[in-house]
Chain A
Amino acid sequence: MNVKLRVWRQKNSETEGSFENYEARDLNPNMSFLEMLDVVNEDLTNDGSEPIAFAHDCREGICGTCSCMIDGKPHGPETGVATCQTYMRSFKDGDTITVEPFKANAFPIVKDLVTDRKAFDKIQRSGGFVSVRTGAAPDANAIPIGKDIADLAMDAAACIGCGACVAACKNSSAMLFVSAKAGQLNLLPQGQPEKDTRVLNMVATMDEAGFGNCTNQYECSAACPKLISEEFISKLNRDYMSASVKKLFKAKAL
């Protein structure tokens, strides 16, 4: 199969970018989208041009590095997959495919299709952990955790930190990302002691980093390669509300 590509090219964060057109020929439908870009890049290199920079690493949908906006959808047309798990069989012969980076104020463009998502690390640092010293843990079976709770925590923990939720949101909100990490830890008994400070700090850092507000339209959840449920956003709102009220009234833990 053959496709035409409209690809966002931008030299660096300082310069303006624009779309360039390319043709990708003789593709195998079982090729991944990134393998198709490899082929285009190999041609560009052989022609003496500069290949398209795109973020990628594990190519099995778990590292969260790849991040292409394909025809206006984060990670492309299929549901519940990352860009690297999108295959050319999802497109038709002769299609024109538009490829852009994940755009958001909090994700500056580094080059072409590569963005800087360090803002997510900042949020994680402000509360996405349980404070436990190495070596200070009790026996692993000392804390029984019901299977339903463990499974829900795992659903949230599946987040790969790719930023599709932000790219899909018209306000560039990071609520799904924050709610997944806070939700995982706040569901578990290990996370209870820091439950309130966690949500307060993570939400404050999210706001500072320049992410927008959530208006509960859940485009994030639909675009998430791990299909993380918007119900975690509801949980984050509940946890945040409760923590804010307690903070406002300086409530004791009685």
Chain B
Amino acid sequence: MILDSKIPEGPLAEKWKNHIARGKLVNPSNKRKYEIIIVGSGLAGASAAATLGELGYSVKCFSFHDSPRRAHSIAAQGGINAAKNYQNDGDSVYRLFYDTIKGGDYRSREANVHRLAEVSMNIIDQCVAQGVPFAREYGGTLSNRSFGGAQVSRTFYARGQTGQQLLLGAYSALSRQIGLGTVEMFCNQEMLELVVVNGEAKGIITRNVNTGQIQRHSAHAVVLGTGGYGNVFNLSTYARNSNATAAWRAYRKGAAFANPCYTQIHPTCIPVSGDYQSKLTLMSESLRNDGRIWAPKKLGDKRPPNEIPEKERDYYLERKYPSFGNLAPRDISSRAAKEACDEGRGVGETGLGVYLDFSDAIERLGEETIRERYGNLFAIYKEITNESAYETPMRIYPAVHYTMGGLWVDYDLMSNLPGLFVMGEANFSDHGANRLGASALMQGLADGYFVLPNTIPHYLADVPREAAPSIDGPEFAVAELEVRDRTNKLLDNNGTKSVKSFHKRLGEIMWNYCGMARTKEGLEKALELIPQLREEFRKDVRVPGEGKELNQSLEQAGRVADFLELGELMCRDALAREESCGGHFRVEHQYPDGEAMRDDESFAHVAAWEFKGEDKVPERHVEPLEYEETKFTTRSYK
């Protein structure tokens, strides 16, 4: 397998500009002759579909939801970064680039990250022009706040629902193109297989989740914007239906899967309350602008928080990381919370929680200001816990939130399978081993609005201007048969255990052995347990109902079957990466003070895995990461 990142020559700040200026183009009158399939309608999918449709390509966009607006980008709360320097606080493209490289613990590509920082400004302009109601100052200019891992205020936001507003902006642009007929929208269609013709991605097989109908679709290129795979952990901040099936099917058809072990555990989520729990809810990182995180100094201190005097509280982030304090990056904050709880200083019924306290901010700024900034978040907290965070500190605990790993792509966002492009959280490229807050929305929209529309012609220009491969071809027939076989096998299995019970057990294995802290022994154990569980699933899963109508158990069964394979790959990757970096913390590799110890000599590379066949050991390939502009330094937020 060849992993050529195709990073353009020239100085870092000129690469993207030159790459567009010199790249191949498709003539405006020829664009409509090219069909492009886009799977997913979140920030990346919707923005790409709208932009490519507007450019004149024939676009088909697929979503398993009933409407493109339901994609889980909608749930992002805090904000989106852009190097606008509207605050005159010393921000620049370079600083956003540098913060993102450092935040990713020197495991991302310099050229990709610089491009991301460059186009960040266009995104804000675009969204404002669409009517996205970002927060504003009284004078009418845009407002900013700060986020973890940065010492400037560069985050734009729309109350606590920035993702919703950005997605609805992209959805409105997509809706306009659907109305104009440049984009054909396929809702309730789940992609269950990728079709490869002569070594290139040329189509997909879908199942209509409402009717069970299996359909073939062909195109000149296939683009995945299908999100991350955090639901492998079962309990996460992801939507219940978020899944890895599209990406996993592409992997099994030859696309490399990069850095699967890089998962982000978000520090501020509402703790688990019971066995029945179906999901974890995030409390936006923006709360750390005004909230102070602490745990009692005393072990097992069960007093209510208001009765614990100031001198018996440990504001551990402020103590350990005085220059960033409560705004330390996510991986660091999460591990610090875990440490406090592991020491026996956790709070709440389960002891798995720490406090996020607003009493100082309320005293300083008044309750009204806090309500204006975070009112909806406090309301969510109240709904779930029945407690008011205006009166008592929030209880928070880390939870799985994002996956930095994903399908391997080159600088043009094309995977090693020609014709297959991957955007947003589904690819691996821009966040390294840890994503900074407010960077996911930035990347999704950067890829969809500005990167892919400029890079996809580099591939299409060399594709003959003839019709896309016929869906009657043998490759489509075989792929459809595979889907039918898998579906029927699940339905006819007649086992005794529900899909959900398997998902839960897989999640427990992943959280215990491939979660916030990983050890060699633990990962080896997981690599024994997961194949056993997978075998049990194949023999004993029960999927009620039929295939010819809406069958939510069947949908989940297909997704969990794929998670049972992906989970194993994640553990394999975590085991092979003998270092700690970003969200990947190997207990064996740490400094005496507990900070993560990277090994730049042996591991400054992307690990991309190649599928070698059913239940066979995949092959690990390496793309070295070369740092021209920045120097490796031990990440310090002290």
Contacts and interface: CB of A to CB of B under 8 A. Distances in A.
A35 to B, nearest CB: 5
B558 to A, nearest CB: 16
B172 interface: yes
B128 interface: yes
Given A126-B179, A145-B136, A57 B240 contact: yes
Given A31-B276, A58-B239, A129-B175, A45 B66 contact: no
Nearest to A185: B131
Contact of A129 (B68, B173, B383, B386): B173
A247 to B, nearest CB: 20
A246 interface: no
A63 interface: yes
A211 to B, nearest CB: 16
A60 B380 contact: yes
Interface in B70-105: 70-72, 74-75, 84, 86
Contacts of B140: 144-147
B129 A190 contact: yes
B493 interface: no
A46 B126 contact: no
Contacts of A150: 133-136
Contacts of B127: 140
A56 B240 CA distance: 8
A111 B131 contact: no
A89 B552 CA distance: 27
Interface string A77-94: 000110001010100000
B125 A137 contact: yes
Contacts of B26: none
B386 A51 contact: no
A51 B550 CA distance: 11
A53 B129 contact: no
Contacts of B185: 121
Nearest to A37: B278
Interface in B115-147: 122, 124-142
Contacts of B172: 124, 128-130
B67 A144 contact: no
B550 A147 contact: no
Contacts of B289: none
A72 B291 CA distance: 40
A49 to B, nearest CB: 7
Interface in A151-180: 151, 153-154, 157-158, 160-161
B178 interface: yes
Contact of A51 (B122, B124, B173, B553): B553
A151 B143 CA distance: 12
B544 A50 contact: yes
B374 interface: no
A contacts with B: majority SS: loop
A34 B279 CA distance: 11
Contact of A57 (B72, B133, B176): B72
B615 to A, nearest CB: 27
Nearest to B173: A129
Contacts of B138: 146-147
Contacts, number: 216
- Which of B70, B173, B240, B550 has the most C-beta atoms of chain A within 10 angstroms of its own C-beta? B70
Interface in B254-292: 273-274, 276-279, 281-282
A157 B544 contact: no
Contacts of B70: 57, 63-65
B126 A45 contact: no
B142 A59 contact: no
A20 interface: no
Given A59-B240, A63-B72, A154-B158, A140 B124 contact: yes
A133 interface: yes
Interface residues of A, number: 78
A210 interface: no
Contacts of B54: 133-134
A150 B210 CA distance: 39
Contact of A134 (B84, B164, B276, B449): B449
B545 interface: yes
B175 A188 contact: no
A65 B137 CA distance: 33
Given A38-B500, A63-B239, A135-B450, A58 B131 contact: no
Contact of B159 (A87, A132, A154, A191): A154
A45 B187 contact: no
A63 B185 CA distance: 19
B52 to A, nearest CB: 9
B176 A188 contact: no
B335 interface: no
A128 to B, nearest CB: 6
Contacts of A87: 383-384, 386
A83 to B, nearest CB: 12
B498 interface: yes
Contacts of A80: 379
B67 A121 contact: yes
Interface string B542-576: 10110001101100000000000000000000000
A176 to B, nearest CB: 16
A186 to B, nearest CB: 10
Nearest to A34: B278
- Which of B134, B175, B276 has the most C-beta atoms of chain A within 10 angstroms of its own C-beta? B276
B122 A53 contact: no
Contacts of B66: 55, 65, 116-118
A12 B549 contact: yes
Contacts of B241: 57
Contacts of B139: 144
28 contacts: A42-B498, A45-B498, A51-B545, A57-B65, A58-B72, A59-B239, A60-B75, A62-B161, A85-B383, A118-B67, A118-B187, A126-B179, A128-B172, A129-B173, A130-B172, A131-B176, A134-B50, A135-B126, A135-B449, A136-B129, A140-B134, A141-B86, A151-B133, A154-B158, A157-B158, A188-B131, A190-B131, A191-B131
Minimum-distance CB pairs A-B, first 8:
A144-B140, A137-B129, A129-B172, A125-B179, A137-B125, A154-B133, A153-B133, A140-B128
Interface of B: 47, 50-51, 54, 65-72, 74-75, 84, 86, 122, 124-142, 158-159, 161, 164-165, 168, 171-173, 175-176, 178-179, 185, 187, 210, 239-241, 273-274, 276-279, 281-282, 379-380, 383-386, 449-450, 453, 498, 500-501, 542, 544-545, 549-550, 552-553
Given A28-B274, A44-B544, 11 more contacts: A48-B544, A49-B544, A58-B239, A59-B278, A63-B70, A136-B129, A137-B126, A151-B133, A154-B159, A154-B165, A190-B131
